Structure 1
Amino acid sequence: MEEHQTNTNNNKKFSTWFKTSITARMLVMGLLVLLLMIPLKLIQELIQERENRQISVVNDINHKWGNQIIMYGPILKVPYKTFEETSKFDKETQKTFKERRTIVKYAYFFPDQLDIATDAETSTKKRNNFETAVFTANISASGNFTAPDFSLKSIEDKNIIWEKATLVIQTTNLKGLKSEVKVKLNGNDYSFETNFSNKNKNYPYLDELESSYLSLNDIPTTKAHAFNFELMYNGSERVQFIPIGKVTNVMIKSDWKDPKHIGNFTTQSERTTENGGFEANWKILNTNRSFSQQFFKVLPNLTQYAVGTNFIFPLDEYQQSDRAAKYGFLVIGLTFLVFFLIQTLSKIHIHPFQYLMIGIALVMFYTLLISISEHSSFLKAYLIAGIAVIVMITLYSKSILKNWKFPLFIGTALSALYSFIFVIIQMENYALLVGSIGLFMILGIVMYVSRKIDWQQG
């Protein structure tokens, strides 16, 4: 009986201390905020898990439709003979003699002029709740080759095997090709086949297509010869071209509304088309990049010089949900602060359990947001989740505060806070600036409202 009486007295003392002491209320609020960070962290992990699942599904869709496109070519490939002498000892004659061995190597010559025009028609592919962007790219290329120069390696004309010269195209995404690969050189067509023998460490990302042997009349030994070809690709994520021409002009046009141009070279010009898409142009000279117009022995991997366009969703629902969840600490903290100021200024008692219920309702906003956004747009999900939580907390506040004055203020404050966070989420370039200004204004309001609080109450 005495122990029960002691516990009752202790509970009454804590309740009285919590009601009368500002320090006690602040300590309890701080502990509750830290406690609510646990489910908030679990929600962020859930968002990451769902995003990883989305990435897995998107990669599977892209793999079946067609992967990213990186391409450069055509390249003139000419074999030539080199000779190597080695000394050998004949045991029978006891004499040393020289043996001359012929080794065939290859020289690669890039076009003098290269013009590439691409028209990419995009569409979205969806599986369950996950969506990705894919495209069909119609690529037209033209240009010309000038006479190959073997003088750099002091190779005599008699050692050049002109009759076995070919054209080479380096590219990714062979499975996405939807047209036969043919290049018209000097007015004659040449078909291509996959060169599996070149799949080695020098080609970690690109496959090689090689033509049949060129006619001697089509090899530009005395004057420039023009070429052109057309390809149709099913692709995803991005399309890029390596500027191997002495002068390279690249044009990419598409109906995609959110392009991101990538590569080491900026666009020469860019405009928005009538259908809301884009048209981007690059002009790159051989003096703009650090590789020559010809290579001997082996073709290097030049993917780091590629230019092109990413076909991306600027912010999908998981990225936006994750950014929203990162502001969870701010939402919970500011909401508790509003209740704390109301409790302190109006002398209305709010129990720690009631703070906890309000905090859990704020955390539930994010689970609603994730689940609804998987079946609708992020904007609709944000509106539904936000309105549901604001109405719930407003009605619950009415039961605590006994009138409509403070609950309506709380509902308005939460509406403004969620609207402010939504605006920040949608911004990319100005998110930090707007967020900093908003927080500064909130701090000013809190300082103004709390100026008359007697902080000496313990």
Structure 2
Amino acid sequence: MSRSLGFKLGAIALLILLLMIPLLMIDGLVDERQGLRYEVMQGIARSSSYSQQITGPILVLPYIKTTREWKTNEKTGERYSEERQRRGRLYFLPERFVLEGQVGTELRARGIYEARLYRSDSQVSGQFRLPARLGLGDDLGFYRFEKPFLSVGISDIRGISNDLQLRLNGQTQSFAPGSGDDNFGAGVHAPLPALDAQSGQTLDFAFDLKLQGTEQLSVVPVGRDSRVKLSSDWPHPSFVGEYLPSRREISDKGFSAEWQTSFFATNLEEALRDCVGAERCQGLFGRNFGVSFVDPVDQYLKTDRAIKYALLFIALTFATFFLFEVLKRLAVHPMQYALVGLLLALGFMRLWYRSWAGISVCARRRVPGICWRGGLPDCFVNGRRNNGSVRGYIPRCGRRRACMVRRGGKPDEPGSPGARFYRLSEIPACRVRGSPG
């Protein structure tokens, strides 16, 4: 008995190892499909636009500073003055920054792979407060200012879908391509009228921005007081960045979120100085927040998670059958273990079914291999040592289960030895007669 038991346990262990071969092949297929999906998403993004980040607006004032330096002639000992000119720029962040946007999402597909695009319709407004003498004090006389401009950084300008017009103190200015400053990367800029450098000045600005992108939309809160409100029809938002929304509402119809920050939380002035002075702009661009429109759990991720537990599922299933066999003293042929394990392996091939049969079909019918629950154990439980043995099992996707048990009777009666079931929706799991025990 112990020898037979050891042989059966060894056979079960060998079957588990053999069943890991198709599971590893399916795992490789999942990895391949994930890579192909990523390539498709990148291809669609290359054809439209990538993730978008809005940085700005920032007021930029170019200048030429003239300085005098006294030097001594080494030969004659006479002193003389030498003028030097240095070019630079002054940067001003808005006192108040407000962005309100409505975001709509849509799916683009290539074959069986899909990518999600979004289109945002945003209204940007705010106010600049320039200090008297531009904060330069008595050194203002050494500066000669050039034409100022308003710079808005947009990570992928291909996504801009409207004619940008800046409304500044009741006047309208057109935006031009390019941010106007290499530190801010890609974007747009709008020329401004000459500023009054002697006295303080207030500039109210507003413009509409329609932007298309993929996966993620983020904003850098450039204002001393920044308020951003986004609403969308996407019901599964993932809030990203360094600041969570202060208020949010999420439902099946979409979400609405609102952020509010200040200079005390962002320390954006120091980040801007590091960006324009030491060319370390990562700290400026990293102080952002936004939302991601990627599916939180897609079919490939769920399949990958299931395959990671495949060995556990197979081992527990075989252990359950083995316990039924020992407790009920019903002999189960190793081929029955093999076929049931094969059905379990087929359960992880939903990904392959989805690739050609469609998601809706698989959702209704599923894979027969995952429909074993309750069916085969019922055969073991309902079987009797003296009056029957397990003869077969036919799983079916749904609530009905069929078990052919040898109990005698007419060949045409269900449950008799001659009974046969041929249905397109049913796959025979085993056709090996168990010994009477």
TM-score normalised by length of structure 2: 0.77
My pick for the range that moved more, 169-178 or 369-378, is 369-378
Q: Which residue of structure 2 lines up, in the alignment, with residue 106 of structure 1? A: 89
**Alignment check: 8 A CA contact 1:84 1:101 kept:** yes
- Once the two structures are overlaid, the 10-residue window that deviates more, 299-308 or 179-188, is 299-308
Q: Which residue of structure 2 lines up, in the alignment, with residue 351 of structure 1?
A: 333
Pairing 1:48-447 to 2, within 5 Å after superposition: 48-83=31-66, 99-148=82-131, 156-195=139-178, 198-199=181-182, 202=183, 206-212=185-191, 214-216=192-194, 221-272=199-250, 276-292=253-269, 295=273, 297-298=276-277, 300-301=281-282, 302-367=284-349, 369-375=350-356, 381=362, 384-387=365-368, 390=371
2:7 matched to 1:30?
no
User: CA 1:165–1:133 in structure 2 vs 1: closer, same or farther (change >3 Å)?
Assistant: same
Deviating more after overlay: 264-273 vs 112-121: 264-273
Question: Given the superposition, is the C-alpha separation of residues 365 and 96 from structure 1 closer, same or farther in structure 2, using an over 3 Å criterion?
Answer: farther
Contact persistence 1:338–1:410 (CA under 8 A): no
Q: Secondary structure at the match of 1:216?
A: coil
Residue 297 of structure 2 aligns to a residue whose secondary structure is coil
Which protein has greater RCO, CA pairs closer than 8 Å, 6+ apart?
1
- Aligned counterparts of 2:137 and 2:357: Cα–Cα separation in 1: 67
Structure 1 residues 333 and 181 mapped into 2: Cα distance closer, same or farther (>3 Å)? same
C-alpha separation in 1, matches of 2:161 and 2:115: 20
- Note the C-alpha offset of 1:336: 0.8
Q: Which residue of 2 aligns with 1:40?
A: 23
Sort the Cα spacing of 1:392 and 1:166 in 2 relative to 1 into closer, same or farther, 3 A. closer
Distance 1:220 1:132 in 2: 53
Mapped partners of 2:177, 2:299: distance in 1: 40
Aligned counterparts of 1:52 and 1:267: Cα–Cα separation in 2: 33
Conserved 8 A contact 1:398-1:407: no
Deviation string 1:280-320 (CA, Å, 9 cap, x unpaired) is 11111111112228649557342211111111212111111
Q: CA deviation at 1:380?
A: 5.2
Identify the range of structure 1 (289-298 vs 177-186) with the bigger mean alpha-carbon deviation.
289-298
Does the 8 Å contact 1:80/1:159 carry over to 2? Answer: no
Q: Deviations over 1:74-117 (max 9, x none)?
A: 11101233356789999998999764320110111000011100
- The amino acid of 1:245's aligned partner reads G
TM-score of the pair, normalised by structure 1: 0.74
Deviation at 1:121, TM superposition (A): 1.3
Displacement after TM superposition at 1:331 (Å): 1.7
- Distance in 1, matches of 2:333 and 2:390, equals 16
TM-aligned CA distance change 1:287 to 1:335, over 3 Å: same
* Corresponding pairs, count: 389
Q: Which is worse superposed, 159-168 or 357-366?
A: 159-168
Alpha-carbon shift at residue 135 of structure 1 (Å): 1.2
Q: Residues 266 and 91 from structure 1, CA distance in 2 versus in 1: closer, same or farther, beyond 3 angstroms?
A: same
CA RMSD of aligned residues (A): 3.8
Using a 3 Å threshold, how does the CA distance of structure 1 residues 114 and 102 change in structure 2: closer, same or farther?
same
Deviations 1:220-243 (A, max 9, x none): 952322110011111111111111
Kept in 2: contact 1:317–1:373 (CA 8 A): no
Distance 1:282 1:102 in 2: 44
* Structure 2: stretches of 5+ with no match in the other structure: 400-437
Contact 1:397–1:407 (CA<8 Å) still a contact in 2? Answer: no
Contact 2:55/2:222 (8 A) holds in 1: yes
The alignment partner of 1:340 has SS state of helix
> Identity percentage over the alignment?
24
